[in-house]
Amino acid sequence: MRFERVFKREDQESFAALSGDWNPIHVDSVAARRLLFGEVVVHGIHTLLWALDRFCTIVRTPIIIRRISANFLSPVFLNHKVVCTINDNDFPNICVSVQANDEICVELDMIVERMAVSNCSVHRRVRERREPSTLSFEEIQLSEGQVPLGFDSSILSKLFPNFSKCLDLHQVAIFLASTEIVGMRCPGMHSIFNMLSLTFADCESVP
pLDDT (tens, 9 = 90+) of the chain, 207 residues, equals 999 999 999 999 999 999 999 999 999 999 999 988 999 999 999 999 999 999 999 998 899 999 999 999 999 999 999 999 999 999 999 999 999 999 999 999 999 999 876 656 688 888 889 999 999 999 999 999 999 999 999 999 999 999 988 999 999 999 999 999 999 999 999 999 999 999 998 765 444
- What is the per-residue pLDDT for 202? 73
**Per-residue confidence (pLDDT) for residue 201, from 0 to 100:** 83
Confirm if 115 and 59 have CB atoms less than 8 A apart: no
CATH number at 140 reads: 3.10.129.10
Residue 192 main-chain phi, psi, to 5 deg? -130, 120
Give the Cα separation of 169 and 191 in Å (integer). 26
pLDDT at 122: 82
Query: Does residue 205 lie within any of the structural domains?
Result: no
Residues 22 and 128: beta-carbon distance below 8 Å: no
User: Does some domain include residue 207?
Assistant: no
Q: Is residue 204 part of a domain?
A: no
End-to-end CA distance of the chain: 36
- Listed in sequence order, the residues at least 6 apart from 63 whose beta carbon sits closer than 8 Å to its beta carbon are 112, 113, 114, 115, 117, 166, 167, 168
Domain residues for 38? 2-199
Q: Is residue 103 part of a domain?
A: yes
The reported pTM is 0.93
What is residue 207's predicted lDDT score, i.e. its pLDDT? 43
The answer to whether position 13 is within a domain reads yes
Q: Residue 143: name the closest of 174, 187, 197 by CA.
A: 187
- CA–CA–CA angle 167, 172, 174 (5° rounding): 140
> Is there a contact between 195 and 109 (Cβ–Cβ < 8 Å)?
no
Does a structural domain hold residue 206?
no
Q: Is residue 71 part of a domain?
A: yes
pLDDT at 66: 95
Give the total number of structural domains in the chain. 1
pLDDT of residue 205: 45
Whether 113 is in a domain gets the answer yes
